Chains A and B, each alone.
Chain A
Amino acid sequence: MSRGNVFLAAILWLVIAFLVLYPLSFLVLESFKIAGTDNWGIKNYLGFFLDTYYLKVFGNTLVLSSLVLLTTTLFGVPLAYILARYRHWGKTVFTALILLPIVLPAYAGVFAFIIFLGKHGTLNLLLMEAGLIKTPINFIYGLHGLVFIQSLHMLPFIVLGLSAGFTTIDPSLEEAAEVEGASGFRRFFTISLPLCSPSYMAGAVIVFLWPFTDWLTPMILGQVDFLPSVAYINIAYHFTDMHRKYMGIVAVIISSIVCIAIFLLVRRWVERKKYTGLSKGTTSEGRVIEPGALVKSGAYVYMIFIAGLVLLIPIVLGLSAFSRRWVFEPFPTYWTLENFRLILLESPILIKNSFLFSGIALLLGITFGLPAAYLIVRTNVPGRNALDFVITLMLAFPGIAVGVSYLLAFWKDIPLATYWIIMPLALFARRLPYFLRMAHSSYLQLDISLEEASEVSGAGKIRTFFNISLPLVIKGVLVGVVMFFIMAFQEISTAIFLYRGGWETLPIGIYLNWHRGMEFGIAAAMAFLMIVITFILLLIISRIGGGILKAAWGPGGT
């Protein structure tokens, strides 16, 4: 191990310490403060677990998590099987559409479905016009709506993991079951599905943890009795009531602990159960089935149904963005560009901020992520596993936790929070794992002998990196770069705590327009704009190397 590597590792650790460990320590300390006194203690935590309200909130969140996981699983298993195994037309299009919610901001979906499925939304109005119903049906305001919207948002994680699993199972494992006498369902439930359980669990954990992170969807739907929403309200609205603030922080910490504990448990389980690599001779395509006509048309109907739900989001937001006063009408009647004029001409600062902050975060991400990936994959510097561990852990960390801890930490001693640089710094810290994962996996795929050959030929480490390693991993890195940018661009959970007047980003603009005066048109136009930008970035990714599937691997959203 060279001196350079140790030096590099030390710098990376310093950055991690400053941007992750230091602020988080503030969050933890703050949760032990007792309101109205200078004392410390576990009173807040005791209060949390003795208060029936907080216990109910905790229980609600668990119920929501379980329901979302159940729904995504029930819908995701057949979907993944169809996508992975059936030979059908439009495979790429359907896959892309079904996976789209991963890159769409969660709040975009919420707004779209409020417009479409709300009490006086398009569907209700159409049904009433047709005389099928007398009073509007409550499609979304309630637990069922929350489950529906969160499930649609998280469905890709189940589908992605499982279909990758179904594709990579060694076909002979299933053939052996058939030869042994198992047909159809029996083979599926005893062999195929259990073999996919590691890839399923990897996605399922992200789905399960989403309700512990997503504060915005419940709030918009008027369902606030969930852990992250309660935390947000306590901290953001009641900052003068110290006790409520501390309770909010406790809620954040408990969410974080749940997330990290479950994340680590599942990670350990998945690593222990890894079945791939045990048998040789898998084909790249996996097993493809030509289904019967009936099954095939059923599969199409199913895929079109899910893809249609996903497509509703951009369509409805688009309609809303190009119209005004779309209320009590199934479809807009007054078309205008006014919303876009307002966004682009009167407050272009939002778009500028979004690009500026995400761009700076991205630069930081590259300068930090590439050496970190190199260090983790290619060297044996002490502590490299711990580095990997900490960065991976950040995947499971709720955005609120990052936001609040930055606010606490960078206030008095290091007053970074008074400068706008705090925004890109926070985005960088929060989204780093996405980039690192991509760089990491492309590095793993790079055969080390290619680099060794270069060194044997007389090139130094740095020359080898630029001449050999970088050109070979560049695709994966670029996909990581774009993915990082998309995720930073739509970040809201952290930013909402840190922004000040003049630092607003597009997502914050969306939130404020909804929150302040029900300026739905403008909020929708902003969301639509974000979808368009995301879509362009996705096109770039698919141009780079069809990496959408792999690139999107990680918890998304607010």
Chain B
Amino acid sequence: MAFIEIQHLFKRFKNVVAVNHIQLEVNKGEMLTLLGPSGCGKTTTLRCIAGLERPEEGDIVIDGKPMLSEGFVHPSKRGIGMVFQNYAVWPHMKVFNNIVYGLKIQKIPRQTIQEKARQVLELTGLNGLEDRYPSQLSGGQQQRVALARALVTNPKVLLLDEPLSNLDAKLREELRFEIKSMVRRMGITSVYVTHDQAEAMVISDRVAVMDSGNVVQIGTAQEIYEKPANRFVADFIGTMNFMSGEVVQVLQDTDAVYVRTEFSEKMLCKTSDTKATTPGKKVYASIRPEDVEIFTEPPQGRENLFKCTITHKAYLGNFLYLFVSVDGTTIRVQVPHHLPQEEGQELYLFLNPEKCMVLF
């Protein structure tokens, strides 16, 4: 059985539905990320788990104990640790007192408190800073204090609300791996909220993508990237070319379909949902920029081969972005090497039917 179960959770703020009857399970020791754009309900879901928001409907079960259906369990009684987006490090307390606050409340003997604090200071690399006030720390250090404070009580569940969003890019990347390894070493079940897809993919065992209060897809980073459930997920995770069109023919006993797009009568694509893919249905033929192949001379015997013009070339260091136009439709192509062709010149575009998917 899952360690955290979110059942039919529903929460609204006045007339805005923030979380719309979602179902989620987090396994023991797993790190699950709630990923989505701002306003999708990910932070509200997290705050419901913490008990900082009271949902209108549904239940949250942590380690077999319901948090709502058998009477509301106050945040202080849930045995959780939480890292807030703005750190929420208490400015009137020294680092040490910030960290041991929860331990003092649990009435743990002084000796043990000292010992635990020493360990967590070591773990988070805050050694020597325990007598400083938060205002004397950098943003990264404050974030470490917040993390240390959440970890020191050895909570059953760790909740992280965009913990890295206020840090600069370099530090963010560094701390991602640190948090991951710390949490994994301690084996704490954790829920991580972020709007940064790269962060989600690096840090989590599984990712739940949310959109306007609903969980759209749950899976490993790879599953979500390679088999996005719909256009929203494909667009949010990575980059995708969308060509709007209409299904014209479904090939029997395969997952292949023909789609009519603005520049092609019959484009061969794959679908992950053969049942929903019926002729006449409006769909998006989609392909990632790195899956598009280009040729200077047309290769023989290939479907989905189109003539195109380079409209724009962007150099990004480790690769090249080409924006090409096929009969007025712009497609983005990622080319890993230098290309002699210039803007305005013609190329041949191969949209590999194996990589070309139908999304709704």
- Considering the complex, which residues of chain A in the window 282-310 have a beta carbon less than 8 Å from any beta carbon of chain B? none
The 7 closest A-B pairs by CB, nearest first: A180-B102, A172-B88, A176-B88, A183-B76, A178-B75, A275-B91, A181-B105
Instruction: Choose from A175, A197, A275 the contact partner of B84 (Cβ within 8 Å).
Output: A175
A173-B88, A183-B76, A197-B92 given; A178·B52 CB < 8 A: yes
- Bound Cα distance from A378 to B102, whole angstroms: 46
Q: Name which residue of chain A comes closest to B92, CB basis.
A: A194
A177 within 8 Å of B (CB atoms): yes
Q: Is the CB of B86 within 8 A of A170?
A: yes
Chain A residues near B82 (CB, 8 Å)? Answer: 175-176, 179
Q: Is the CB of A179 within 8 A of B105?
A: no
B90 within 8 Å of A (CB atoms): yes
Query: Smallest CB–CB gap between B210 and chain A, Å?
Result: 20
- Bound Cα distance from A278 to B87, whole angstroms: 10
Q: Name which residue of chain B comes closest to A273, CB basis.
A: B92
- Bound Cα distance from A194 to B81, whole angstroms: 23
Q: Is the CB of A176 within 8 A of B76?
A: no
- Chain A, 162-204, contact with B by CB distance < 8 Å: what is the 0/1 string? 0000000010110111111111001000110011010000000
B230 within 8 Å of A (CB atoms): no
Instruction: List 18 additional contacts besides A175-B88, A178-B52; criterion CB under 8 Å.
Output: A172-B84, A172-B86, A176-B82, A176-B90, A177-B90, A178-B75, A178-B76, A179-B50, A179-B52, A180-B149, A180-B153, A181-B76, A183-B77, A194-B92, A197-B92, A278-B135, A279-B88, A279-B89
B80 within 8 Å of A (CB atoms): yes
Q: Is the CB of A179 within 8 A of B76?
A: yes
- Bound Cα distance from A28 to B82, whole angstroms: 60
Q: Name which residue of chain A comes closest to B106, CB basis.
A: A181
- Bound Cα distance from A181 to B52, whole angstroms: 13
Q: Is the CB of B105 within 8 A of A186?
A: yes
Q: Is the CB of B91 within 8 A of A281?
A: no
Residue among A177, A181, A194, A273 with most chain B CB within 10 A: A181
Q: Is the CB of B101 within 8 A of A180?
A: yes
- Bound Cα distance from A384 to B131, whole angstroms: 36
Chain A residues near B106 (CB, 8 Å)? Answer: 181
Q: Is the CB of A195 within 8 A of B90?
A: yes
A3 within 8 Å of B (CB atoms): no
Q: Is the CB of B153 within 8 A of A279?
A: no
Chain B residues near A182 (CB, 8 Å)? Answer: 76, 101-102, 105
Q: How many A-B residue pairs have CB under 8 A?
A: 82
B65 within 8 Å of A (CB atoms): no
Instruction: Choose from A170, A180, A195 the contact partner of B105 (Cβ within 8 Å).
Output: A180
B154 within 8 Å of A (CB atoms): no
Q: Is the CB of B76 within 8 A of A173?
A: no
Chain A residues near B159 (CB, 8 Å)? Answer: 179
Chain B residues near A186 (CB, 8 Å)? Answer: 105
Q: Is the CB of A177 within 8 A of B101?
A: yes
Residue among B51, B77, B90 with most chain A CB within 10 A: B90
- Considering the complex, which residues of chain A in the window 65-102 have a beta carbon less than 8 Å from any beta carbon of chain B? none
Q: Is the CB of B86 within 8 A of A195?
A: no
Query: Smallest CB–CB gap between B46 and chain A, Å?
Result: 11
Chain A residues near B52 (CB, 8 Å)? Answer: 175, 178-179
Chain B residues near A516 (CB, 8 Å)? Answer: none
- Chain B, 128-153, contact with A by CB distance < 8 Å: what is the 0/1 string? 00000011000000000010011001
Query: Smallest CB–CB gap between A526 and chain B, Å?
Result: 48
B281 within 8 Å of A (CB atoms): no
Q: Is the CB of A279 within 8 A of B91?
A: yes
B312 within 8 Å of A (CB atoms): no
Q: List 19 A-B contacts (CB under 8 A).
A: A173-B90, A175-B52, A175-B75, A175-B84, A176-B146, A178-B52, A178-B74, A179-B51, A179-B76, A179-B150, A179-B159, A195-B90, A195-B92, A278-B91, A278-B134, A279-B86, A279-B88, A279-B89, A281-B85
B166 within 8 Å of A (CB atoms): yes
- Chain B, 87-105, contact with A by CB distance < 8 Å: what is the 0/1 string? 1111110000000011001
A280 within 8 Å of B (CB atoms): yes
Query: Smallest CB–CB gap between B310 and chain A, Å?
Result: 41
Interface size on A, residues (CB 8 A): 24
On A, residues with C-beta under 8 Å from B are 170, 172-173, 175-183, 186, 190-191, 194-195, 197, 273, 275, 278-281
Q: Is the CB of B81 within 8 A of A179?
A: yes
Query: Smallest CB–CB gap between A273 and chain B, Å?
Result: 7
Main secondary structure on B side of the interface with A: mixed
Q: Is the CB of A275 within 8 A of B92?
A: yes
Chain A residues near B51 (CB, 8 Å)? Answer: 178-179
Chain B residues near A275 (CB, 8 Å)? Answer: 91-92
- Considering the complex, which residues of chain B in the window 158-213 have a beta carbon less than 8 Å from any beta carbon of chain A? 159, 166
- Bound Cα distance from A281 to B52, whole angstroms: 17
Q: Name which residue of chain B comes closest to A278, CB basis.
A: B91
Q: Name which residue of chain B comes closest to A174, CB basis.
A: B88
Chain B residues near A279 (CB, 8 Å)? Answer: 86-89, 91
Q: Is the CB of A280 within 8 A of B76?
A: no
Query: Smallest CB–CB gap between A16 and chain B, Å?
Result: 35
Q: Is the CB of B84 within 8 A of A181?
A: no
- Considering the complex, which residues of chain B in the window 55-94 have a beta carbon less than 8 Å from any beta carbon of chain A? 74-78, 80-82, 84-92
- Bound Cα distance from A175 to B51, whole angstroms: 10
Query: Smallest CB–CB gap between B159 and chain A, Å?
Result: 8
Q: Name which residue of chain A comes closest to B84, CB basis.
A: A172
- Bound Cα distance from A281 to B161, whole angstroms: 13
- Bound Cα distance from A154 to B89, whole angstroms: 34
- Bound Cα distance from A178 to B53, whole angstroms: 12
- Bound Cα distance from A181 to B50, whole angstroms: 11
Chain A residues near B105 (CB, 8 Å)? Answer: 180-182, 186
Q: Name which residue of chain A comes closest to B100, CB basis.
A: A180
- Bound Cα distance from A273 to B153, whole angstroms: 29
Q: Is the CB of B101 within 8 A of A280?
A: no
Query: Smallest CB–CB gap between B22 and chain A, Å?
Result: 21
Query: Smallest CB–CB gap between A85 and chain B, Å?
Result: 15
Chain A residues near B135 (CB, 8 Å)? Answer: 278
Q: Is the CB of A181 within 8 A of B102?
A: yes
- Bound Cα distance from A170 to B90, whole angstroms: 10
Query: Smallest CB–CB gap between B96 and chain A, Å?
Result: 14
Query: Smallest CB–CB gap between B296 and chain A, Å?
Result: 51
Q: Name which residue of chain B comes closest to A191, CB basis.
A: B90
Query: Smallest CB–CB gap between B338 and chain A, Å?
Result: 43
Chain A residues near B77 (CB, 8 Å)? Answer: 181, 183
Chain A residues near B76 (CB, 8 Å)? Answer: 178-183
Query: Smallest CB–CB gap between A49 and chain B, Å?
Result: 38
- Bound Cα distance from A278 to B101, whole angstroms: 20
- Bound Cα distance from A180 to B76, whole angstroms: 6
A176-B82, A177-B101 given; A183·B74 CB < 8 A: yes
Query: Smallest CB–CB gap between B100 and chain A, Å?
Result: 10
Query: Smallest CB–CB gap between A173 and chain B, Å?
Result: 5
Q: Is the CB of A281 within 8 A of B80?
A: no
Chain A residues near B50 (CB, 8 Å)? Answer: 175, 179
Query: Smallest CB–CB gap between A198 and chain B, Å?
Result: 9
Chain A residues near B153 (CB, 8 Å)? Answer: 180-181
Instruction: Choose from A170, A183, A194, A273 the contact partner of B88 (Cβ within 8 Å).
Output: A170
- Bound Cα distance from A264 to B75, whole angstroms: 42
Chain A residues near B150 (CB, 8 Å)? Answer: 179
Q: Name which residue of chain B comes closest to A290, CB basis.
A: B54
Q: Name which residue of chain B comes closest to A190, CB basis.
A: B101
Q: Is the CB of B91 within 8 A of A179?
A: no
Q: Name which residue of chain B comes closest to A282, CB basis.
A: B86
Query: Smallest CB–CB gap between A172 and chain B, Å?
Result: 4
- Bound Cα distance from A278 to B166, whole angstroms: 13
Q: Name which residue of chain A comes closest to B159, CB basis.
A: A179
- Chain B, 31-53, contact with A by CB distance < 8 Å: what is the 0/1 string? 00000000000000000001110
Chain A residues near B85 (CB, 8 Å)? Answer: 172, 281
Q: Name which residue of chain B comes closest to A194, CB basis.
A: B92
- Bound Cα distance from A267 to B278, whole angstroms: 75
- Bound Cα distance from A279 to B90, whole angstroms: 9
Chain A residues near B80 (CB, 8 Å)? Answer: 179
- Bound Cα distance from A279 to B50, whole angstroms: 21
